[in-house]
Structure 1
Amino acid sequence: MSLLTQAAPGDTHVVIETGQTALVIRIDKEQIPTIVHLGTKLRNAAEYGTISGNGKRGEDYTGIYNSVYTPAGSRNLLEPAIQVTHADGNPSLDLHYVRHETQPAGDGVVLTKVYLKDPQYPFEVTLHYKAYQQEDVIEQWATIRHTEKKPITMQKYASANLYLPAQTYYLTHFHGDWANEMNPSEVQLTEGIKVLDSKLGTRADLFQPPSFLISLNQPADEDRGDVIAGTLAWSGNYQLAFEVDPLHNLRIIPGINPYASAYSLAPNQEFTTPSFLFTYSSHGKGGASRSLHRWARKHRIPQGQGNRLTLLNNWEATYFDFNEEKLSALFKDGKKLGVDLFLLDDGWFGNKYPRNNDHTSLGDWQENKKKLPHGLGYLVKEAESSGIKFGIWLEPEMVSPKSELYEKHADWVIKLPNRQEYYFRNQLVLDLTNPKVQDFVYDVVNGIMTKNPTLGYIKWDCNAVIYNAYSATNPNQSNLFVDYVQGLYKVVERIRAKYPTLPMMLCSGGGGRVDYGALRYFTEYWPSDNTDGLERVFIQWNYSYFFPAIASCNHVTDWGKQPIKFRTDVAMMGKIGYDIVVSKLTEPELQFSQEALKTYDRIKPIIWQGDQFRLSSPYTSDVASLMYVNEAQDKAVWFSYLVKNRYKAGSVAPIKLKGLSPDKKYTIQELNVYPGTKSEINTSTATYSGNYLMTIGFNPQVSSRRESVVLEVSEVK
């Protein structure tokens, strides 16, 4: 087969561009759509037509190795993006270009739709590309519909199918478990397929998230190298496939996991895949993450450019053992500390089966009359009279086998009728594919909010995975995993529509559900139940490649051996909260915490809305160091931590700063100085140019005596 060195006469090009990036689709005379470019955009769009078949280095026997959405069963030889069986049993698919259209879709957003159709069947796929111009992010998804006489079966239905040529490919992915989230691994991809996936149903990214980085030609660092950062906006089973093809080009196919999910699609119904979000950076991993942060704050996370509440949680103070008197005392402690809100965690509900441990009561969302005889309304008013708001913990997707809900509605539970029940954290999952269950979960939240309209916060937990997957009401059992997530989204979409400004934390026993599908509805997420300050340096470091600081809930707790200053400094790199017994703090600890919260209130706009720059990695240095710089480049907050406490470990040399204006003059002042100690940074009168700080650097004086240091960098006006 001869290779075209450039486009043939009559070829059409569909060009999707952001401020820096271009994705170019070529339509040949046979109406076959292929990707010929993904990377830095050209200044002259006419030159896209001269690109060869996207770096083909030999014979492509199919002509569609670089298909824009590879169909299975016809002439394809590689991993497909879509595989279907038609109503007549034919297992093949061929997708030809029909037309495309481009239209504005908001401030600085352009939506391109590419319509594809099988020439033999009334089967259509529309590829959607939303290009965020200023944020340099592309959001891609597919819609699938048909008008065949009977339902068709979709064995696979990916969200995207990218194609890239390079000499080498380095995949950075993340793995872990409860309290051990987001450990990075970097591997070179070789010929064949590397698959990252989840089969857990709910809490789907307990073992690994649907997020990754790909470096092209050489491993990228923070500031140098060509990088794609990608993440799938889906809260259920996912699959990320990375295939190096026979011509040594890379195919990236992200989407819903086809495992146990052959999907029956009725005629005239439309199936929409989850969004795949990606950004291309020629300025290393840091450039990619800053693009995703800006996009998420402006376009995805509710109130992403607004405010957040600091909270005090009762969990480590009381666990399940509390009453109104204890809680009222904690309200006063919260006000004394200086937080905005008190969050009542697990254990407040259930009467026939009181929630005194984690073995009962999930599903019975009525106030426990013994612990809370006057109900939640009393607590809301008590908290407000103490000067803070009141929030509540819920786990509404779950049910305890020992509960009134289970006794009344066993058919609402996901479980096989002829298998022994098997529990994850002593609980089972409600069947959110059932509209009655969706209404029940919505009514739980809406009922609490209707009775307590000034309730200030909901922590939404999800601790179980799906065992023995079976729905008593879903006619298509293999639709269950997909329909579950869509049912969840229907519920939270209703809640968000009625309560658009209600702060809601996305929790899943830690980082078991951190994705932009759910973060369309939740203002923030819980990265990990591991709140050890040193561990959190690493965990938060890796989440920050994909998610902005404003969405990361970082709590000061009694986990870990670090002093409270270290734990507080780490928690400030996001949305700070507390889960401590305030009455047990020493006077200096209380004074420090109160002052730190006042400081945080002043600097949080820089952390939440500023650009993040990683300066020194905890994986390669004694010191982890990163900074946040505001848009005007006149303020920055710089965090540094000792992470390897060996002999003479510390910041033995200056650390070069990033993101400042080289022409501006800056002063440096230490924040969060512990009572009774003096700062070793005596620079209140010294000034430095941004050029100096980014070329020569500055030593934050991190050592075993100063294990965490927070510095404020301010322009001299």
Structure 2
Amino acid sequence: MTKPISCFLMIFGLATAVSAQHGKQIVVATKSTTLIFTVSTDQKLYQSYLGQKLTNPADQDLLTASRKGAYIAAGMEDLFEPAIRMVHADGNPSLDLRYVTHNQHQDDENVTTTNIMLQDPKYPVEVVLHFTTYNQENVIKEWTEVRHHEKKPVTLTNYASSMLHFEASKYWLSQFDGDYMTEMRMKESQLTPGIKILDSKLGTRAQMYRSPSFYLSLNKPSDENSGELIAGTLAWSGNFQCSFEIDQQNSLRMITGMNPYASEYKLLPGKTFETPAFIFTYTKSGKGDATRNLHRWARNYGVLDGNKPRLTLLNNWEATHMDFNQDVLVELFDGANKLGVDLFLLDDGWFGNKYPRDADKTALGDWQADRKKLPGGIGYLVNAANKKHLQFGIWLEPEMVSPKSELYEKHPDWILKLPNREESYSRNQLVLDLINPKVQDFIYDMVNELLIKNPGIAFIKWDCNRMLTNSYSPFLKDNQGNLFIDYNRSLFDILRRLREKHPHLPIMLCAGGGGRVDYGGLKYFTEFWPSDNTDALERVFIQWGYLNFFPSLTVSSHVTSMGKQSLKFRTDVAMMGKMGYDIRVKNLTPEEIKFSNQAVKTYKRISEVIWFGDLYRLVSPYEENRAVLMYASPDKSSAVLFNYLLNFRRKEYMGKVLLQGLDPMKRYQIREINLLPDTKSTQAEDGKTYSGDYLMTVGLNLSAGKIAPLTSAVFELIAEK
């Protein structure tokens, strides 16, 4: 076989392509980080360097070409985990990738994209490595495209988004895992020779057990303010695999991408296989710096409308579950007004006529308003909410179907289910075959028509309450290895179409809690639901975990009645993210309503600092029986400090807290805010003024006086003018 003329002319026509030369270096750089590749004499591409940007560019010439392949293929001489494995149409299970050309083009003054083309000299296969750098945010996004011109389909059994190599004395991995109601628990361990894999095989709601987000520390464990590390996350909502392999020479090979489990992908001639992006930042200044890099990148590039305000809301779920009617909901609007929130969100249970949605066993797929519960339809509720100066939102679970539904009866061929096997249910439901274009059109049309017929709908909660089992697509027939990948690609296609029609509608990403939280999905969503566990003590840990990689305005945090903590503690915890309510307002006392109304006003006043400021984690709940964090405005003129006392022993000593992110030359007045009605602060620091230098060098005593478990305080710091 002979290799064809490049089929990536559209990519490589954007800038001047550079032909292969021996010893050529390809530099991918941000303001602080450099990633360098070298082309060897045999036209192999190697990673030469990944680390802090060299002050003297001439020093780059001193870097010797290592034998760390940039994108190693299986079937040749390499003995470890490959980035890609392909079985050709003739059965040959090898791939030999050689450098052909590359180009770089500047998208704008901050963003640069580098494309590197590799080809097999014997087979008509091309692989393009893409790197987009975000200079000011110090973030790199990496992904890969694979294409071939063989006469028949080839089979891909490995297809990494990224392969990176590290040389250090030791390696430490911080991972985030858990289960339903225990999401994003942080664990750190030293890597040892062999391979460590973080992965998911759940198909959808794929991140229920663990997240494709991690810290990799080099030489020693990193803390918030020191240590060399990368923070990485995969922009993919489906099965993922992140592998960390230490070889006999103590080198680490890190591979991230979609999980190849049960996914032998048949790629047709002329079609392009594109991997999701791996997004990472490198720093020598600890985990806090990495977090702030990712947050800035996310607000500017990763999250829909990431620099715009968010809505506060009241959800009806705790108040009514599925037992409600039109009049009950309209009465709840008064509760939302008492709280002072922007929006009322109607949750599950509003749809279905032949099989009304009175429990979780019916009606998914039948997205018509229940005429018995809602005789006026959704439009009546929208108008009623608007008359009370509220916006209106609604819950959907578009990917799912109930066996007891009209949709199931009409289209049994639209469902993922195994032939010759009994149906297997989770939450009494099945999954629609999103790979089928007719199903894609059905979901798009349903959501689009709901919004067109009810133009006042201002918010959607998009849920997904089960993983993939019965994993067989009637539409794919003999290509079932494509199912896990094509399902999530089809989901993104639906979301892309909806965003073209409704570009700025706020939509919450939910998957029975935090089962789908990634930047592949978040470019279509404004926020996500971290967990169905809203116990405020548990939420300190859950939200602490997510905030490592996702900015606060994406982390939906609601005040509920779950847990035994005080309303103030629950409210203070909700304030660290995007605050909302899911509570029975009628069960609150007048004093609690007064406090909550004032809390909403306070939150709206300080939310700009919380949403768009820089996060500093000051005391970790994993290290002490308290959690302290703060947000500082980019211009360092103001800050909001959260102090949560957890469960601690009598007379347990807690030291001063050193603040961060302030201007050492400015003086800041400290005020405790979000106090209960008719109470004054008992905090010793309330009302005092200190220099930023003092606050960051000497610190504050946040545990003076009478303290108690499960109490909290919120402080506002304002710089003197």
TM-score by length of 2: 0.96
Query: What's 1:531 paired with?
Result: 534
| Structure 1 contact 629–637 (Cα < 8 Å) conserved | yes
Tell me, in whole angstroms, the C-alpha distance in 1 between the residues paired with 2:552 and 2:288. 14
Which of 203, 211, 214 pairs up with 2:205? 203
Aligned in 2, Cα 1:107/1:506: closer, same or farther, shift over 3 Å?
farther
Equivalent residues of 1:146, 1:269 under 8 A apart = yes
Matched, 1:713 2:713: no
How do residues 432-471 of structure 1 correspond to structure 2 at under 5 angstroms? 432-471=434-473
- Between the aligned partners of 1:282 and 1:379, the Cα distance in structure 2 is 53
2:519 — aligned with what? 516
- Deviation of the 1:682 alpha carbon: 5.7
Q: Partners of 1:468 and 1:601 in 2: how far apart?
A: 46
State the one-letter code of the partner of 1:575. Answer: K
Within-5 A mapping of 1:535-614: 535-614=538-617
Kept after mapping to 2: 8 A contact 1:313/1:343: yes
Question: Judging changes above 3 Å, is the alpha-carbon distance between structure 1 residues 502 and 593 closer, same or farther for their aligned structure 2 residues?
Answer: same
Name the CA distance, whole Å, in 2 between partners of 1:435 and 1:281: 44
- C-alpha deviation, 1:358, in angstroms: 0.4
Kept after mapping to 1: 8 A contact 2:514/2:530:
yes
Note the alpha carbon deviations across 1:687-713, whole angstroms, 9 max, x for none.
211110000001123720781010001
1:385 lines up with 2:397 in the alignment: no
Distance 2:583 2:289 in 1: 36
Hey, what does 2:51 align to over in structure 1? 39
Equivalent residue runs for 1:38-117 within 5 Å? 38-54=50-66, 63=67, 66-117=68-119
> What is the letter of the counterpart of residue 253 of structure 2?
R
Q: Deviations over 1:305-351 (max 9, x none)?
A: 00111000000000010001000001111012100000000000001
Q: How does 1:20-39 map to 2 (within 5 A)?
A: 20-39=32-51
- Contact 1:667-1:683 at 8 Å conserved across structures: no
The alpha-carbon distance between structure 1 residues 705 and 485, as it changes in their structure 2 partners (threshold 3 A), is closer
Q: Give the superposition deviation at 1:436.
A: 0.4
Please give the alpha-carbon distance, in whole angstroms, between the structure 1 residues aligned to 2:373 and 2:543: 36
2:661 to 654, 659, 662: 659
CA distance in 2, matches of 1:667, 1:412: 62
What fraction of aligned residue pairs are identical, expressed as a percent?
Answer: 55
Q: Partner residue of 1:483? A: 486
Q: Deviations over 1:114-173 (max 9, x none)?
A: 110001111000000000000000000001101111111101101000001100000011
Q: For the aligned residues, what is the CA RMSD?
A: 1.3
Secondary structure of the 1:321 match is coil
Amino acid at match of 1:535: E
Of the three residues 586, 609, 626, the one matched with 1:623 is 626
Q: Does 1:349 align with 2:361?
A: no
* In 2, Cα distance between equivalents of 1:319 and 1:687: 48
What's the offset of the Cα at 1:684?
Answer: 6.2
DSSP 3-state at the match of 1:22: strand
Alignment of 1:151-162 (within 5 A): 151-162=153-164
What amino acid maps onto 1:183 in structure 2? R
User: What is residue 495 of structure 2 aligned with on the other side?
Assistant: 492
Partner residue, 2:5? none
Q: CA contact under 8 A between 2:22 and 2:43: conserved in structure 1? A: no
Indicate the residue corresponding to 1:3 in structure 2: none
Contact 2:433/2:473, CA 8 A, preserved across alignment: yes
Distance 2:684 2:380 in 1: 50
Q: Deviations over 1:9-68 (max 9, x none)?
A: 9401100000100111111111111111111011222322212345xxxxxxxx4xx111
Deviation, structure 1 residue 466: 0.9
Paired residues for 1:310-325 under 5 Å: 310-325=312-327
1:649–1:704: 8 Å Cα contact kept in structure 2? no
CA change 1:97–1:705 in 2 (3 A) is: closer
Q: How does 1:26-425 map to 2 (within 5 A)?
A: 26-54=38-66, 63=67, 66-425=68-427
SS of 1:384 mapped into structure 2: helix
Tell whether the 8 Å contact from 2:672 to 2:686 is kept in structure 1 after alignment.
Answer: no
For structure 2, list consecutive stretches of 5 or more residues without a partner in the other structure: 1-20
CA offset at residue 645 of structure 1? 2.9
Cα offset, 1:107, TM superposition? 4.3
For structure 1, list consecutive stretches of 5 or more residues without a partner in the other structure.
1-8, 55-62
Mapped partners of 2:456, 2:332: distance in 1: 19
Contact 2:685 2:701 (8 Å CA) reproduced: no
Amino acid in structure 1 at the alignment position of 2:715: L
Matched, 1:693 2:695: yes
- Which secondary structure does the structure 2 equivalent of 1:163 belong to? strand
Distance 2:494 2:558 in 1: 28
SS in 1 for 2:611: helix
For 1:225 and 1:74, how far apart are their aligned partners in 2?
A: 37
Query: How many Å apart are 1:683 and its aligned residue?
Result: 5.3
Following superposition, the deviation at residue 444 of structure 1 comes to 1.2
Where 2:223 maps in the other structure, the secondary structure is coil
In structure 1, the residue corresponding to 2:162 is in which secondary structure? coil
Letter in 2 for 1:87: A
Q: Distance in 2 between matches of 1:537 and 1:685?
A: 27
Equivalent residues of 2:338, 2:593 under 8 A apart: no
Higher alpha-carbon deviation: 104-113 or 333-342: 104-113
Partner Cα separation in structure 2 for residue 247 and residue 645 of structure 1:
45
